[in-house]
A and B are shown apart, each in its own frame.
Chain A
Amino acid sequence: MKRTIPLFISAVTGFVLICTAFIPKFVDWGNDAMAWFNILAAFAFILGGGNLLKMQLQKISAQQAGWGYSAVTLIAFFITLIVGLLKVGVHPNINFPEYAWSGDYLEEGSAFWWLFEYIFYPLSATMFALLAFYISSAAFRAFRAKNTEATILLLIAVIVLLGRTYAGVWLTSWLPNEPILGTSGITYSDFHLSHLSEIIMDDFTTPGMRAITIGIALGVASTSLKVLLGVDRSYLGSDQEA
């Protein structure tokens, strides 16, 4: 019951979806499965919220260090949830004005929109903007040309960093657009940093990424097959679970 049924469910679902690629009859079944999958994904958001609630409440009740911040999280969570679910400040759909609940929950000017625009938006954007500072600190402290490989990495990074801005043009614009003696078709201007960085991306990064992509594809395929055949059961957790 605890292990056999889940193994059966995952195998059937997986193989039905695999068959959609080969047997047209299975396409409709596959579409149904995907529609259910998407609904479950939405419930995963609810589960996430519920989990957050559970954990923060545990923290508050145990009066762990920093429990006040947990209370702040919960207040923010509930305010967002309530104004969003109750569509506070939302007008009805213009085509159906007598249906009070028919409006867009994210309508401009509504309370939920305000929370997104003036609280979630700046907080989320600034959190990620911090990374620019940390990457600069890391550049100073961690990126060392310790060996050949690290030197290649840094050199390429420098060429691409320069080549992808106007600095590249400034530094190498003196190279004339004339053919190099003894070569056919190569000009000095081909060594402009902007052009070099394009060559690096097209001719060197592409094969590197392609090999990584092939490797990952094989990994994903084998893991998927292991899951569907019941060889990999790690997602089921331990038997001791309540």
Chain B
Amino acid sequence: MKQSTLIWTLLMIFGGLGLLSVQIFRTQGAVYVREVPVEAKASQPESPEQVYRWSKYQQVPAKEKGEPGVSFSLSRTIGLWVAAFCTLAIFSFLYGDNPLYKFTESVFVGVSAGYAMVVAFWTEIVTNLFAKLLPGLARISFFPDMEEGTKASLLYLIPLVLSVLLLWRLAPKGSWIARWPLAFFIGATAGIRLISYLEADFVGQIQNTIMPFIVFDSKGAFLWIESLRNSIVIVGVLSCMVYFFFSIEHEGIIKYISRLGVWFLMVTFGASFAYTVMGRIALLSGRLNFLFNDWLGI
């Protein structure tokens, strides 16, 4: 049997077993919800209706099936199966590129761009631009909680103009005008980064490294382990800095110090690699937890 055929067969067996277990444990793969009635009193006395009623639905564990107010949710059950399908479709890339993967990848690109736009619109543009420029209209539409008589803040016309200029970039002509808002963006980023990086990452890190080579406890006894640890940190920082200092030739004593620096960096990268691995595996176990636990209920 060809290797790829064998892998494919094993995957099919796994998939088949999974679906079979769904059939056996019928409660899994289905989502149940509890109906929570909502009764809201009108905030304005002149409202046409005085009490508004609707229902909210909270997801509950399958074992609560049959309890009063708990019912099967078709939309969420379909959702669960769509989520499982999406997960398997992306995993199918491991076998090789295929139309199913490409399809879900395209959906992902579209949904994520749309999602980001919607969130940006409701959270920042409506809340911090529209509500500042047209508070009256914002109050009667989206933010009834706003204080009545809030005055428009005309200063916000500046970001509005800059934003329009930014979107001009999409226009076929005159897209250079988008450089103005871009310049504002870049200037602001440079301005805040210059100070904060120097403060926390330059001065702060030098301060953190200024520690005693020789450590004594409160009774004056020499603590050699602490002294050794401090010395390692200080020597480590200095040797790595020497390695990064390319303006002088790495010869003689400098060569040896920078080589020590490289070793420190290798230890750093080794530990970083191990932590990266740890993170990646955690992501995979999170996803498989969804498949086994939430979907299949194994």
Contacts and interface: CB of A to CB of B under 8 A. Distances in A.
User: Is there any pair of Cβ atoms, one from A and one from B, under 8 angstroms apart in the complex?
Assistant: yes
A51 B175 CA distance: 13
Interface residues of A, number: 138
Given A69-B106, A73-B106, A152 B40 contact: no
Interface residues of B, number: 142
Most central of B111, B120, B209, B265 by chain A CB within 10 Å: B111
Contact of B115 (A115, A130, A132, A215): A115
A36 B158 contact: yes
Contact of B268 (A78, A105, A209): A209
A75 B103 CA distance: 12
B267 A77 contact: no
Interface in B204-242: 205-206, 208-209, 224-225, 229, 232-237, 240-241
B286 A42 contact: no
Contacts of A154: 270
B10 interface: no
B66 interface: no
Given A72-B106, A80-B115, A97-B41, A156 B57 contact: no
B111 A76 contact: yes
A185 B225 contact: yes
Nearest to A46: B117
Interface in B226-281: 229, 232-237, 240-241, 243-244, 261-278, 280-281
Given A47-B167, A95-B145, A132 B266 contact: no
A214 interface: yes
A181 interface: no
Dominant SS among interface residues on chain A = helix
A27 interface: no
A128 B112 CA distance: 15
B43 A46 contact: no
A4 to B, nearest CB: 10
A71 B173 CA distance: 26
State the 3 A-B residue pairs at the shortest beta-carbon distance, nearest first. A207-B236, A80-B114, A76-B110
21 contacts: A39-B159, A39-B163, A50-B167, A52-B109, A75-B110, A76-B114, A78-B110, A79-B110, A93-B145, A99-B140, A106-B119, A122-B86, A125-B290, A131-B280, A139-B277, A161-B278, A185-B224, A216-B201, A220-B197, A227-B190, A235-B182
Interface of A: 2-3, 5-7, 9-18, 21, 32-52, 54, 66, 69-70, 72-81, 84-85, 91-99, 101-102, 105-106, 108-109, 112, 114-133, 135, 139, 149-150, 152-158, 160-161, 164, 184-186, 197, 200-218, 220-221, 223-225, 227-228, 235-237, 241-242
